[in-house]
Structure 1
Amino acid sequence: MHPPETTGFPVPPEDRRLSPHTGWTRAHWEAVADRLLDALLPFTREQGAAVRPPGAPSWSGPDVDGLEGFARAFLLLAVRLAGAEGADPANRTERWALGLAAGTRRGGPEAWPQITDCSQQIVEAASIAVGLHLSRPWLWDRLAPATQGRLVDWLSPVVGCRTRDNNHVLFQVVVEEFLASLGALDDRTGIEAGLDRVDEWYRGDGWYQDGPTRRSDYRDDRDGAVRQGDRTYEAGERFDYYNAWGFHHYTLLWSRMAGSRGVARATVYRQRLHAFLTQYVHLFGADGAPVHHGRSLSYRFACLAPVWLGALEDATPLPPGLTRRLASTTLRHFVRNGAPDERGLLPLGWYGAFRPSAQAYSGPGSPYAASKGFLGLLLPADHPVWTAPEDDLPVERAGHATALPVPGFLVQATREDGLVRLLNHGSHYLTPPPGTRRDDPHYAKLAYSTRTGPEVGAAAGEQRLDNHIALVSPSGQVSRRERIHRVAVTDGYAASWHRPRMDDDELPDACRIDSVSIVIGAREVRIHRVAAPAGYTVREGGYALADQDALRADTSGTRATVRRGDGLVSAIAGLHGWTGAHVRHGYGSNAFGPRSAVPYCSAVTATTAVPGVSMGPTAAPLRESIHVSVVLLTANGADPAHEVLPPGLSVSVDGLTVRLDLQGRASWLVRPGTPQPVVGGPRVARPA
């Protein structure tokens, strides 16, 4: 038996023969797209050029927010129109054509703000340019010449504009390419320079870093203005969904716009996308949920853009039935969990509205970047992606621990509950100046998953509790995990280190935390080597669970467990170096529900001094300690606390070396802080 659909709006009948897992077909995709477009009508200004769904404005102001809402939804209209080969029985196209005319009418009541250096308008211009390209025979070619001319005039200032030194370079590139396709741009120097710049950020295996590690430009959170600093700053190594809805999305769409002008680059981009999808498919749970990690998560199913592009460009390792299964399961997952909501809107949040997880640059129309997730409608109805039976996802075939060494991820998947967890030992986003607290909860955690989100917001941000190891000063300050130095990422384990940072209670540079993660089925064994001043508390948390209702919590010795009513369990057990376990409850701090809880362990710093290391000429030396824990996240509803531990696991510590023994398997020797942190242990096969 399959549960009935609870989408909140009419959907076509399911087809369980073609789609045995989801029941969804191309008609379901069209129905959701139409629902999203039609629901925006009450929030569209009279002439159609500004779309402002309800919600708090961004730092760019209401005029730019209105453009943002128009541009991102316009992309969906264009994809829907192109996928139907111009058929538009509901006559939606006319409204958007009127909006194009009104937005470009200088001095008009709904005129769009002009494009300037580093402005949000550059971002939205890219959606408009791509939409006009995709729907060209049915929209652009039928616009009045005066409207076409005004659109060229509005887009043209992007040429030569200064952009943010990250994925924003591609927004400029696609606008310039569209202008070139119209004969409105003769000099392609800027296009080629932009693509060359993006190539500098390619790191291998299909992964782009979002901008250089060191940069000088920054957007001031106080007023949203982009400024150029006097010196460069470390920006981090940012790997996230911008690979999906940014780099691969725009490079491949650029190649489609460029045609014969971009053949050589297009070949490279297809190869990169193929490599990316080989790994990317492992970041989705059996229920279609993507791993909740990184910024701009309100874009939701925009993460499907490269999955569809792989099929469109013959650049995918995924069979047609797997492509549709992954995409349909993900879209269906969000729809059945309230996105869109009962009004048909996509609010800022994950499922429902949750502003604390959104960035200040996001306006109420920002979530309509989800339009990128509908590119599959460009495939004809008789394409194998739409006609092949659905396949199983990788997590449904077998549990695995898969290394993604370029971004520094170890992906832990369990077949029995369909959960996927991302153990993070590499990707980090360092908040630019003038900010001094440079960690971001969507990047700095030790782990993320498809069923949980980090605790965010002011109070939770200060606590830094879930999936984090911290030093807590005598005054109560909690250390941050900012720059993550990867040591090793391979199938079965990963290792990294960081220097904990505080504000007023300044820590010495020699203070350091080395971390190792070892995967044993659904469990992660964490081993930390901590060098810290005496008198500090060491604290480590497991996954934060969130729900509509209160969560059940249990503690015993150095074990703490949180349980949700549907059987989802988060637990942590201290095996060495921990003296207590606790649970902290929160409210309004998690995208997955209003009530949340985090299990965690604590201990005081060790008494053994690190030879030759001290805080200063009169300060006491640092202390060094080893801490071993088991972290569990499972949807199997484990009840007894002892089930946190893998059966037959034993731990022994000799100085700074940890030995892990598991019944019937080879032993691990773990030495955090060394070039080869793990020796021995069972070999973990990479899934086919």
Structure 2
Amino acid sequence: MNSAGLTLNNREEVSCLARSLLAAAEPWLDSNRARLDLGNSCAHYGHDIGGIEAFSRLLWGMAPLLAGGETPARLMDYIATIKAGVTPGHSGYWGDIGPFDQRVVEMAAFGLLLAIAPQPLLAHFSEVERQRLWRWLKQSEQAEIPDNNWHFFPILVQVGFRAAGLPFDMTVVERHFASMEAYWLGEGWYSDGPGRPRDYYIAMGFHFYGLLYARLMADIDPERCALLRQRATRFARDFIHFFDEEGAAIPFGRSLTYRFAQGAFWSACAFTGLEPFAPGVIKGLVLRHLRWWMRQPIFDRDGVLSVGYCYPNLVMAEDYNAPGSPYWALKTLLVLALEESHPFWQAPELPLPPLAAQHSIPQADQVLVRQGRHLWMATAGQLELNNYVNTEAKYCKFAYSSRFGFTLERGRFGLPHAAVDSMMLLSEGDAYWRGRRDCERVETWDGIIYSRWRPWPEVQIDSWQLALGEWQVRVHHLFSDRPLESAEGGFSLPGQQVNTRVEPGACWLHSGESRSGILDIGTPARCGEVVMTPPNSNLMWPERCAIPVLRGELSAGEHLLCCAVWAGDSDVTGQEPPRLQREGQQIVICHGERQTAFRLVATGRTL
């Protein structure tokens, strides 16, 4: 796929991008088999359903083109594939679905297609063929599905049925919305199921689909549609803090291979006419995000989207990521359903509005910090209960960065494999490392996150994460019944040409335009060290990376470990590091004229 020369400044350029994305994948379309085979890697649902997924995900780009009045070059191949896929007895039949079936996910794309472009599609279907499509999609009505964002997929199918003049069942819609109401946390936020994380699925899932519903069903379900718009408006005031001035978003959580689906929420705002910010601001969010991604090497030699984040990388894939999975990124191209005369396209592109340097989100236990050319997020309590690959690395670190990414675990034996960036890891002296995973308690208030966690049942750690200007401060109150080794890391840098400064109580790295460091504050008890990771560990860079680390040995008993972390432009001196003072159980962090105080949580033991 060649996006060279595309400025992505207007609708025609974005349309050209969409057509190019589709064209790169279409040579692998087999309309007789009703599959799109893009590669040889596999997801847990196998190659066959993976081929169905790959085809259906192209519809997220094809449907807006049709709705916007364009005719994709290979429209009739798409139609032939759909007809084959929904015809029982045909060699390409997509089959009857079972419990927790991936095909239910992919049905949502057909719901969108039927909802926003019913005539350009169904004009090529006979009545018998329409009935076959309806019957195949109708399986979603009674499907057994996970208790999470999947509830929206049967809803979108019903929305498509209604728009296309096919029989639809409002009780299906009611049932699934009732299930999702249990996830509502308030102030614009859901969790992705009971006790589940608050990650990009809230934006590209719940609110994206909710806004589609709000536009397409407003005439028959006005009260719910108004509520969905209200919730999305509130969410937007938090979500804008996830994007930097260049269009990059903070990588965090699972399903990062969907890439520019991170910005799909803003496209849904435009599609729905929702204006949490001026149309030019929303336009800028969408277009800068697309431009940033088009500058990354995310395509293979044939121009097909790869599995990975900023480069092809199967190490970071979940077990549900097949070769065609990344094409969910096309959801952000929903703005192509809007005609050239729409306010979104007519508005001049605007930069981000003035945003606070620090923004706390208690519902998500996140604190966002905007620091020059470095946007980062502190978080806690975000365990993914399904234990997807690299869950701790994707959810449980102390911080995530739009500029420095994060490192994936490549093995528990040996610190270089253990993803120590933005983590504190502990070992019993055997080179097997454990860090924060589940949290017993989490509290978030203005710029501070507190968590209690146990790497072993007999080892208790209370951690405070503080955002103080450009500095990230971490305070750990630890009790252990055994001696332990500790290692705590800052943000990683690409490690080919890294200059280092290592000393007692500090480690600083310098590489090109970037600098990253970590230092003990209070009473230094740890030594600086540089840890080099294996290739393909960091989501941003394929080469080996360097992590600034503090190392130390802990005797059995109680300890107070405190560090300050800084990363950013190499030519920025930065403010003076914070200082720690302790008065009994009272901890005071001094930073300039600001003082932040809190008390250590009672443990039943005397420090």
TM-score (norm 2): 0.92
Partner residue in 2 for 1:338: 297
The question of whether the paired residues in 2 share the 8 Å contact of 1:471 and 1:537 is answered with yes
Q: Does 1:478 align with 2:433?
A: yes
Structure 1 residue 349, shift from structure 2 partner: 0.7
| Aligned ranges 1:39-50 → 2 under 5 Å | 39-47=24-32, 49-50=34-35
Of 171, 174, 192, which aligns to 1:192? 174
| Aligned ranges 1:482-631 → 2 under 5 Å | 482-485=437-440, 487-501=442-456, 507-508=457-458, 511-546=459-494, 549-565=496-512, 567-575=513-521, 576-586=523-533, 587-594=535-542, 595-605=544-554, 623-631=557-565
Of 315, 323, 326, which aligns to 1:367? 326
- For 1:668, give the aligned amino acid: T
Q: Quick one: structure 1 residues 256 and 313, their matched pair in 2 at CA, closer, same or farther if it must change by over 3 Å?
A: closer
| Aligned ranges 1:318-333 → 2 under 5 Å | 318-333=277-292
Structure 1 residue 373, shift from structure 2 partner: 0.7
Q: Quick one: structure 1 residues 648 and 82, their matched pair in 2 at CA, closer, same or farther if it must change by over 3 Å?
A: closer
Structure 1 residue 486, shift from structure 2 partner: 5.1
Residues 256-277 of structure 1 show CA distances to partners (whole Å, capped at 9, x for unaligned) of 4434232111111000100111
Structure 1 residue 191, shift from structure 2 partner: 1.9
Structure 1 residue 188, shift from structure 2 partner: 2.9
Determine the C-alpha separation between the residues in 2 that align with 1:112 and 1:427. Answer: 36
Q: Does 1:140 align with 2:92?
A: no
Q: Quick one: structure 1 residues 577 and 10, their matched pair in 2 at CA, closer, same or farther if it must change by over 3 Å?
A: closer
SS in 1 for 2:411: helix
- For 2:436, give the aligned amino acid: R
Q: Does 1:37 align with 2:17?
A: no
Determine the C-alpha separation between the residues in 1 that align with 2:260 and 2:391. Answer: 26
- For 1:337, give the aligned amino acid: Q
Q: Quick one: structure 1 residues 351 and 467, their matched pair in 2 at CA, closer, same or farther if it must change by over 3 Å?
A: same
Partner residue in 1 for 2:567: 633
Partner residue in 1 for 2:81: 99
Of 433, 442, 447, which aligns to 2:394? 442
Determine the C-alpha separation between the residues in 2 that align with 1:108 and 1:311. Answer: 40
Structure 1 residues without counterparts, runs of 5 or longer: 1-6, 15-22, 214-236, 502-506, 607-621, 676-688
Length, aligned pairs only: 597
| Aligned ranges 1:173-184 → 2 under 5 Å | 173-181=155-163
- For 1:588, give the aligned amino acid: N
Q: Does 1:658 align with 2:587?
A: yes
Q: Quick one: structure 1 residues 128 and 550, their matched pair in 2 at CA, closer, same or farther if it must change by over 3 Å?
A: farther
Determine the C-alpha separation between the residues in 2 that align with 1:623 and 1:137. Answer: 71
SS in 2 for 1:111: coil
Structure 1 residue 57, shift from structure 2 partner: 1.3
| Aligned ranges 1:111-126 → 2 under 5 Å | 111-126=93-108
Partner residue in 2 for 1:51: 36
Structure 1 residue 379, shift from structure 2 partner: 2.2
- For 2:379, give the aligned amino acid: N
Structure 1 residue 356, shift from structure 2 partner: 1.2
Determine the C-alpha separation between the residues in 2 that align with 1:129 and 1:288. Answer: 30
Structure 1 residue 341, shift from structure 2 partner: 4.7
Structure 1 residue 251, shift from structure 2 partner: 2.0
Partner residue in 2 for 1:504: none
The question of whether the paired residues in 2 share the 8 Å contact of 1:533 and 1:605 is answered with no
SS in 2 for 1:628: strand
SS in 2 for 1:391: coil
Q: Does 1:158 align with 2:158?
A: no
Q: Quick one: structure 1 residues 280 and 398, their matched pair in 2 at CA, closer, same or farther if it must change by over 3 Å?
A: closer
Determine the C-alpha separation between the residues in 1 that align with 2:87 and 2:146. Answer: 27
Residues 599-646 of structure 1 show CA distances to partners (whole Å, capped at 9, x for unaligned) of 11122225xxxxxxxxxxxxxxx61111111111213445xxxx57x3
Residues 220-264 of structure 1 show CA distances to partners (whole Å, capped at 9, x for unaligned) of xxxxxxxxxxxxxxxxx3110001111112222233443423211
Determine the C-alpha separation between the residues in 2 that align with 1:387 and 1:476. Answer: 59
Structure 1 residue 494, shift from structure 2 partner: 2.4
Of 243, 255, 261, which aligns to 2:202? 243
Task: Give 1 or 2: higher helix fraction.
Answer: 2
Structure 1 residue 438, shift from structure 2 partner: 9.2
Q: Quick one: structure 1 residues 514 and 36, their matched pair in 2 at CA, closer, same or farther if it must change by over 3 Å?
A: same
Partner residue in 2 for 1:234: none
Determine the C-alpha separation between the residues in 2 that align with 1:207 and 1:630. Answer: 30
Of 216, 221, 233, which aligns to 1:274? 233
The question of whether the paired residues in 2 share the 8 Å contact of 1:541 and 1:599 is answered with yes
SS in 2 for 1:476: coil
Residues 36-72 of structure 1 show CA distances to partners (whole Å, capped at 9, x for unaligned) of 0000122112537211212411111111011000001
Partner residue in 2 for 1:17: none
Determine the C-alpha separation between the residues in 1 that align with 2:244 and 2:594. Answer: 30
Determine the C-alpha separation between the residues in 2 that align with 1:624 and 1:457. Answer: 28
TM-score (norm 1): 0.82
Structure 1 residue 206, shift from structure 2 partner: 1.2
Partner residue in 2 for 1:18: none
Partner residue in 2 for 1:291: 250
Residues 154-204 of structure 1 show CA distances to partners (whole Å, capped at 9, x for unaligned) of 112212111111111111222234335556546432321110111110111
SS in 2 for 1:583: strand
Determine the C-alpha separation between the residues in 1 that align with 2:247 and 2:228. Answer: 26
Structure 1 residue 279, shift from structure 2 partner: 0.7
Structure 1 residue 110, shift from structure 2 partner: 2.2
Between stretches 316-325 and 628-637, larger displacement belongs to: 628-637
Q: Quick one: structure 1 residues 670 and 538, their matched pair in 2 at CA, closer, same or farther if it must change by over 3 Å?
A: farther
Determine the C-alpha separation between the residues in 1 that align with 2:117 and 2:169. Answer: 25
Of 55, 59, 76, which aligns to 2:61? 76
Determine the C-alpha separation between the residues in 2 that align with 1:270 and 1:331. Answer: 24
Q: Does 1:428 align with 2:383?
A: yes
The question of whether the paired residues in 1 share the 8 Å contact of 2:31 and 2:81 is answered with no
Structure 1 residue 390, shift from structure 2 partner: 2.1
Determine the C-alpha separation between the residues in 1 that align with 2:497 and 2:85. Answer: 48
Determine the C-alpha separation between the residues in 1 that align with 2:309 and 2:577. Answer: 39
Q: Quick one: structure 1 residues 129 and 472, their matched pair in 2 at CA, closer, same or farther if it must change by over 3 Å?
A: same
Determine the C-alpha separation between the residues in 2 that align with 1:99 and 1:269. Answer: 34
Determine the C-alpha separation between the residues in 2 that align with 1:54 and 1:637. Answer: 43
The question of whether the paired residues in 1 share the 8 Å contact of 2:298 and 2:308 is answered with no
- For 1:581, give the aligned amino acid: G
Residues 377-407 of structure 1 show CA distances to partners (whole Å, capped at 9, x for unaligned) of 122212222222222225xx46611001100
Determine the C-alpha separation between the residues in 2 that align with 1:539 and 1:533. Answer: 18
Q: Quick one: structure 1 residues 186 and 392, their matched pair in 2 at CA, closer, same or farther if it must change by over 3 Å?
A: closer
The question of whether the paired residues in 2 share the 8 Å contact of 1:249 and 1:309 is answered with yes
The question of whether the paired residues in 2 share the 8 Å contact of 1:538 and 1:604 is answered with yes
The question of whether the paired residues in 2 share the 8 Å contact of 1:115 and 1:155 is answered with no
Determine the C-alpha separation between the residues in 2 that align with 1:398 and 1:186. Answer: 44
